[in-house]
Structure 1
Amino acid sequence: MQEGGRTPAPGLRIGLVCPYALDVPGGVQNQVLGLAAFLRRAGHDVHVLAPGGLPDDAYGLEADRFTSAGAAMGVRYNGSVAPVAFGPLAAARTRRWVAAHAVDLLHVHEPLAPSASLLALGASRGPVVATFHTATPRSRALRLAGSALSGAVDRIDAGIAVSPTAREVVVGHLGRDAVVVPNGLDVTAYEPSDARLPADGRTDGPPRLLFLGRSGERRKGLDVLLAALPALRRTHPDLEVLVAGPGPRDLPPGCRSLGLVDEAEKRALLRTADVYVAPHTARESFGIVVLEAMASGVPVVASDLAPFAELLGGAHDPAGRLFRRGDPEALAAAVSAALLEGRGPRTRRARALAHRYDWSVVGPEVLAVYDDVLGRPALVAPVGEEVS
């Protein structure tokens, strides 16, 4: 529709590449699927390449818009075991996908991970945007990769970092800049509502703490939380601790391991917890689960990592409680204070802050990067305005 002499820019054909298997839960995977859903709502033709298969909860992505780069295998990367695909078969599948789709723009995530993103970057001959999620400021491996893969890095037309912490890694290791565009979230899917409580309708009972993450990774900080329990049980003897996420782990009495949970189960757990605890100790570039907890209206207790403090509105007056990372006594004190305070002005402020990260805000920021690369007029209007 043309009005006032202006015509909306036509939709783009966009290729999104995730280095990690989409059918294995993870923050990068959720970002790729969430971005694909936003871009399609905005009228763009989106195709996704990733290892593994398409999960049941794929944010509405149809099977014919997904291509597998091959079976995923676990490789240690950025302090965890990443489900990636590499080697001759993955390279051949990636080359065929790039050639067959002839996209206007390729958007790869974690381009230096040994997987589909790096392979797609090497096969691409058109405009490329890359999103960097990693926060490893002293990574010798990343410095070496940046040097060895300088040719691949040079193919990137624009870089996105999900936080200032991630941007520092890009600048320090790759010698190039990146614009900070945070991760996105469908905030409305997490907003608390009595009508959306799980079937147990939990409104009382013993205080419930929730930990979400890979329990076997030390940097996720479950050991810090468990070390704080004796002090917490002195004041809250009936305290219940729920641990959700992959990884076998022996837990003390009063703690329950839920194993891997899907997105719907995660949202239900967040809505019915009394406190969400993020005791992570290192290498967190953003903190998507902290953001999900904020949107859910649950009181948040988090370690004082810079990305967590930023999400909560700053270390001076956070919309949650920050404690010194790795300190069980400080964690126990913060949880006790959060349990005493409960839901109120602090959690309402956290929910308000979460709206800054809704896809309706973050999505247009990603599209603005595409505009700059392609030299196009704005593809969508600023939030609150209509495209004419």
Structure 2
Amino acid sequence: MTERSPDLRVLVLHNRYRSEQPSGENNVVDAEVAMLREAGHQVDLFERRSDDIAEMSMVRKALVPLRVPWNPATRTALAERLRRERPDIVHVHNTFPLLSPSVLEACRDANVPVVATLHNYTQICPTGTLYRDGATCTACAGKIPLPAVRYGCYRGSAAATVPVALNLLTNRRRWWSTVSRFLCISDAQRRTLIANGMPAELLTVKYNFVEDMGVRRVGPGEHLLYLGRLAEEKGVRLLMAAWDRIASAGGLGVPLVIAGAGPLADEVTTWARGRADVRFAGLQDKAGSRELTARAIAVVVPSQWLETFGLVVVEAMAAGVPSVVAGHSSLAELVQDGVTGMTHTPGDAASLAAALGQIVRAPTSLGNAARARYEREFTRTAGLANLVGAYHQVIEEASRGAQTVR
């Protein structure tokens, strides 16, 4: 019988994204917290919610952008929590816009080790996407991020971009000197970050896990499914162009279902209206998303930007459903072409159309192979072992460092 490792005291820091937009990052944080608690670890939360901005006075709203790079109030509040609770480790997720990297100084002052999950590319890009004008952009990586301001990369506004650019410029080295370990959610993300200046020794890969909800596909499936944010970088327009190509050639005999919300929702609604081969399902809750996935021939993820993970792909794997993905970034890492799904040339509508045709004709063994990959690498058991292992490693390193100093 193996000895059970002692329970950990973990403080999770996260600025929750607005509830009006689906957030895979919020879901990951919630799932990890629940997983740790159910495993017997003590997990507390230090959170701020972007939804709360709408309820602020005009004066407080005006101060929000100014405090993106540094919020002294959150530093003070966190310092008090750390004095009172003395966690073994702090796990940082998102600090934008209400927490700010000032929380790192509170952790340093309290001598509490810190890990941070990198859900995007904000360590090298002010907006975290490495994407501009329909293409990958690394103009700000390792440099003064003036290009982001010049192009108005955040919300299409130079003025709105200034706080996020200043945040990157003033806090980049603080992150790298304070955080003991950055948890990348794919090897593709890790390699991209290293290639653009991040210290390799600080970066390790820890895949997100996905709960097995017990919903599996039965039979070959009924439709092709796009499930996610309706935005340019997600390849929604590319998918519509590819589907129009397919329709003009006679169709595939199965419908395309598009589910989600985002800035292109009106455009998708107009495009889908009156078509028998397309159904726009809008924003779905978890149960609705699971049902649509389990009834799919394949999930389609034609992202134009360099996805750091691909949660919808792994959720499809859990249901025994293959995926059609852009053949780059983490997506090509998750999907083996012709084995667990199909890949297409990124940004190429003809290539995407061909891959969709292939997946409709593919044997159901692709779904079985996708499920097998899920069982090897993306279950709760694997997620818990990887996360707690990273915590213990960082805590032990911090302990050895403290003993050396003494």
Q: In the comparison of the two structures, how many residue pairs are matched? A: 332
Structure 2 distance, partners of 1:192, 1:152, is: 41
Please give the residue correspondences for 1:1-388 in structure 2 after superposition, counting only pairs within 5 Å.
Answer: 7-21=3-17, 23=19, 25-52=22-49, 71-72=52-53, 86=68, 87=71, 93-110=77-94, 113-116=96-99, 118-124=101-107, 125=110, 126-135=112-121, 136=129, 138-141=137-140, 143=142, 144=144, 148-149=170-171, 150-171=173-194, 172-177=196-201, 178-186=203-211, 188-189=212-213, 191-192=215-216, 207-215=222-230, 217-233=231-247, 234-236=249-251, 239-247=254-262, 248-251=265-268, 252=271, 253=273, 254=275, 255-313=278-336, 315=337, 317-341=338-362, 344-355=364-375, 356-375=377-396
CA contact 1:287–1:308 (8 Å) conserved in 2: yes
TM-score of the two chains, using structure 1 as the length reference:
0.76
| Cα contact 1:301–1:334 (8 A) shared by 2 | yes
Question: Which amino acid in 2 is paired with 1:131?
Answer: T
The answer to whether the 8 A contact 1:243-1:259 is kept is yes
Q: CA deviation at 1:296?
A: 1.5
Distance 1:373 1:88, change over 3 A: closer
Once structures 1 and 2 are overlaid, which stretch shifts more, 134-143 or 268-277?
A: 134-143
3-state SS of 2:101 partner:
helix
Match of 1:36, SS?
helix
One-letter amino acid of the counterpart of residue 220, structure 1: K
Q: Distance in 1 between matches of 2:47 and 2:351?
A: 41
Answer yes or no: is the 8 Å Cα contact 2:10–2:87 preserved in 1: yes
Summarize deviations over 1:87-120 as a string: whole Å, max 9, x none. 5665555454444432111011246x44436343
Shift of 1:146: 5.4
Distance 2:285 2:81 in 1: 29
User: Residue type matched to 1:130 in 2?
Assistant: A
CA contact (8 A) 1:209 1:241 kept: yes
AA paired with 2:206?
V
2:227–2:258: 8 Å Cα contact kept in structure 1? Answer: yes
Letter in 2 for 1:226: M
Aligned residue type for 1:132? L
What is the distance in 1 between the residues matched to 2:169 and 2:177? 11
Cα distance in structure 1, aligned partners of 2:180 and 2:39: 23
2: distance between equivalents of 1:333 and 1:30? Answer: 33
Distance 1:294 1:70, change over 3 A: closer
- CA contact under 8 A between 1:162 and 1:286: conserved in structure 2? yes
Give the Cα–Cα distance (whole angstroms) in 2 for the partners of residues 88 and 245 of structure 1. Answer: 37
Deviations 1:209-266 (A, max 9, x none): 2111221x21100101100122322333764222211123223243333222121111
Specify every segment of 5 or more residues in structure 2 that has no aligned partner in the other structure, as ranges.
Answer: 55-63, 122-128, 131-136, 145-166, 398-406
Which residue identity does 2:104 align to in structure 1? L
Deviation at 1:281, TM superposition (A): 0.9
How far the C-alpha of 1:19 sits from its partner, in A, is 3.0
| Greater fraction of residues in helix | 2
Residues 170 and 192 (structure 1 numbering): CA distance in 2 closer, same or farther, change over 3 Å?
same
Q: Point out where structure 1 has 5 or more consecutive residues left out of the alignment.
A: 53-68, 74-82, 195-202, 377-388
Distance 1:120 1:374 in 2: 19
**Where has structure 1 moved over 6 Å in runs of 4 or more?**
none
Match of 2:148 in 1: none
Superposition RMSD on alpha carbons, in Å?
3.0
The 3 A distance-change label for structure 1 pair 13 and 166 is same
Following the alignment from structure 1 to structure 2, what is the Cα–Cα distance between the partners of residues 117 and 42?
30
In 2, Cα distance between equivalents of 1:43 and 1:367: 12
Structure 1 position 35, deviation (Å): 1.2
Q: Distance in 1 between matches of 2:16 and 2:138?
A: 20
Q: Secondary structure at the match of 2:87?
A: coil
- Distance in 2, matches of 1:299 and 1:151, equals 41
Cα distance between partner residues in 2 of 1:261 and 1:101:
38
SS at match of 1:182: coil
SS in 2 for 1:71: helix
One-letter code aligned to 1:105: I
Measured in 2, the distance between the counterparts of 1:295 and 1:338 equals 18
Q: Is the 8 A contact 1:323 1:334 kept in 2?
A: yes
Percent of paired sites with the same residue: 26
Per-residue deviation, 1:367: 1.2
For residues 159-185 of structure 1, what are the alpha-carbon distances to aligned partners after superposition, in whole Å with 9 as ceiling and x for unaligned? 211112221344333335311111111
